[in-house]
Structure 1
Amino acid sequence: MPSTTTTLRCRSARRRTAVAAAVITTGLLLTACSGDDGDDSGRDGSDASSGTTISHIHGVDIGPSDGLLYVATHDGIYTPGPKGEPRLVGDRKDDFMGFTIAANGTFLASGHPAPGRDAPANLGLIESTDAGKTWKDKSLTGEVDFHSLDHAHDKVYGYDSTNGLLRVSGDGVTWEKRGPLKALDIAVSPADPDTVLATTESGLTRSTDGGRTFGGGDAKPLMAFLDWTGPNALYGIDPSGAVSLSADGGKSWRKTGTVPGGGPQALTAVDARRLVAATQDGVYESTDGGRTFTKRLAVTSGGDH
């Protein structure tokens, strides 16, 4: 029988999947769990020496100081090893849900503890200042599971999936509750701290007052994930994996290409030309604005869980 911690992790995963299922009409399972709290030897995220495979990706980003690719998964954070194999960063195999790297190199994340680890079911906001090797509790421990995090204008913006709202903090410790929201991903304008976009089952929704209120969703186009890297460079990826660019803050879009591997699991825009996206069979990188992609890391689809 699964432990209480595992059951809570699965319930939270199902909550995110419920939103994703409405958004991802192609049947993509963005978040899942097996419900098995037993031996880890056959689970995704096992030691590299035994042939690691990864799945259930919740975030991807590039370290600003080391240039390494970091992949946040259901079973820890991984980076490609010398031969491109998944290599566990640090020793924590927590379920990293929300994940982002601030411009100063600080890792910010949320999620749930690994099975058997003595910790609250919701990690709140956790922080790493050594590129994911060690982590410390920052705030809201046991209270909140952030499913999406964005760091912009020296603030942390987090979608609190536990309570269905947006939270904003200037120091990662004291939070202001903003408006109600049911979203899969959020993105903050790099030019305006009050402009926040979110992907919902009804399409993109926009706030112009810092997330205190959101307008109705615009069903066209239907996006799964967003990242806003410059005033004229808002990228979105739709349920089929098609990548589009908006130069006017999401009012109009131009398709640039398609990520291989089926439905998307995560997206980050490093700059106006460099993108990283996770799909059902790999983590891919583009250096030409999404026209072409190169596989950086193999992924095992989590759709059969």
Structure 2
Amino acid sequence: MAVLTTCSSGSDSTTQDTDDGGLVVSHVHGLGIDPADGRLYVATHEGVIAVSDTGKANRVGDTADYMGFTVVGPKTFLGSGHPAEGTDDHGNRGLIQSTDSGRTWKTLSLGCSTDFHSLKYAHHTVYGYDSTRGVLRVSTDRTTWDTRAELAALDIAVSPKDPDLVPATTEDGVARSTDGGRTFGTGSGQVLAFLSWPAADALYGINLSGGLHRSTDSGATWKKAGTVPGGQPQALTALDGRHVLAATQDGVYESRDGGRTFTEHLPVSSTGGH
């Protein structure tokens, strides 16, 4: 275990809540619903966006690039990424946390050194895929980290029943770890981009063309559940066995019936971002 201190530059991010009716979202990196207000929050290349039930979109904080993103409790979000363009801050932001629904953020650990492209919270533990080094990191206190397996992955998930069962998406298919991410098997089967595992019998994955798949046996077999409109996926979060959020290259969509039908909540521009 190692403790890394945050760098002095960019450790805190403070802005006012703004009503930006003309905002354009070019790339989505994460999705979640805040239990405090039931609103959809979208982590993007241009900041965190709150979307109301009527479809009104509000930028709630700054215009930084939020990469890994997850809602862990009422008003409490974890994230990672890069400072806003045009600021004096440089580098990666490590693990950052907001306790006011994305309005302000503070770096908790790994500041200036790590960019998490995937963050999952399960069993009171943060699992993060560190894209800067291609390794899985795990923390129980959000400050000290255990560095585990090295692998080339786009996304990870964690079993809601077993903290040691961690699948990851690779170019060869889904690779599985049965020891908490210390080692991974070879990728096989479905080639998926993103994963979300809200219930023991509901592991969701989305492929590169927007096909949504569900596994009821921890990823051993998959069945297509539906297709998310808009083509290439950008993010996936399932809240339970039927409630699914997904972002593609042209929009953020929600399904309440396990992926059979989808409703658009926020348009996404197909140009810009990364």
Letter of the aligned partner of 2:46 in structure 1?
A: D
Query: In the alignment, what sits opposite 1:43?
Result: none
User: What TM-score, normalized by structure 2, do the two folds share?
Assistant: 0.90
Query: In the alignment, what sits opposite 2:134?
Result: 164
- Verify: 1:296 aligned to 2:265, yes or no: yes
Partner residue of 1:270 out of 239, 243, 265: 239
Following superposition of structure 1 onto structure 2, how do residues 125-274 of structure 1 map, counting pairs within 5 Å? 125-218=95-188, 220-274=189-243
Letter of the aligned partner of 1:162 in structure 2?
A: T
Structure 1 position 120, deviation (Å): 3.4
Taking the aligned partners of 1:304 and 1:208, their CA distance within structure 2 comes to 35
Taking the aligned partners of 2:139 and 2:74, their CA distance within structure 1 comes to 16
Letter of the aligned partner of 1:112 in structure 2?
A: H
Taking the aligned partners of 2:183 and 2:115, their CA distance within structure 1 comes to 21
Letter of the aligned partner of 1:196 in structure 2?
A: V
Taking the aligned partners of 1:263 and 1:137, their CA distance within structure 2 comes to 31
Letter of the aligned partner of 1:284 in structure 2?
A: Y
Question: What CA RMSD, in Å, does the superposition of the two structures yield over aligned residues?
Answer: 1.6
Taking the aligned partners of 2:273 and 2:59, their CA distance within structure 1 comes to 23
Letter of the aligned partner of 1:120 in structure 2?
A: H
Letter of the aligned partner of 1:235 in structure 2?
A: Y
CA contact (8 A) 1:196 1:211 kept: yes
Letter of the aligned partner of 1:111 in structure 2?
A: G
Give structure 1 regions of 4+ aligned residues with deviation exceeding 4 angstroms.
Answer: none
Structure number with higher helix proportion: 1
- Verify: 1:48 aligned to 2:17, yes or no: no
Q: Secondary structure at the match of 1:248?
A: coil
CA contact (8 A) 1:52 1:85 kept: no
Taking the aligned partners of 1:300 and 1:87, their CA distance within structure 2 comes to 16
Change (3 A) 1:269 1:81: closer
Residues 168-196 of structure 1 show CA distances to partners (whole Å, capped at 9, x for unaligned) of 00010000101102111110000000110
CA contact (8 A) 1:48 1:85 kept: no
Taking the aligned partners of 2:179 and 2:73, their CA distance within structure 1 comes to 24
Unaligned stretches of 5+ residues in structure 1 = 1-45
Following superposition of structure 1 onto structure 2, how do residues 13-52 of structure 1 map, counting pairs within 5 Å? 48-49=20-21, 51-52=22-23
Query: In the alignment, what sits opposite 1:108?
Result: 78
Letter of the aligned partner of 1:97 in structure 2?
A: M
Structure 1 position 86, deviation (Å): 2.6
Change (3 A) 1:81 1:288: closer
Structure 1 position 301, deviation (Å): 1.0
Taking the aligned partners of 1:236 and 1:83, their CA distance within structure 2 comes to 28
Letter of the aligned partner of 1:64 in structure 2?
A: P
Q: Secondary structure at the match of 1:198?
A: strand
Structure number with higher strand proportion: 2
Alignment coverage as a number of residue pairs: 257
Partner residue of 1:86 out of 50, 53, 57: 57
Structure 1 position 256, deviation (Å): 1.1
- Verify: 1:67 aligned to 2:35, yes or no: no
Partner residue of 1:286 out of 249, 255, 273: 255
Query: In the alignment, what sits opposite 1:35?
Result: none
CA contact (8 A) 2:45 2:273 kept: no
Unaligned stretches of 5+ residues in structure 2 = 1-17
Residues 147-182 of structure 1 show CA distances to partners (whole Å, capped at 9, x for unaligned) of 000000000000001111000000100001011021
Letter of the aligned partner of 1:189 in structure 2?
A: S
Change (3 A) 1:298 1:111: same
CA contact (8 A) 1:54 1:86 kept: no
Percent identity at matched positions?
59
Taking the aligned partners of 2:268 and 2:182, their CA distance within structure 1 comes to 37
Taking the aligned partners of 2:273 and 2:46, their CA distance within structure 1 comes to 17
Structure 1 position 81, deviation (Å): 4.8
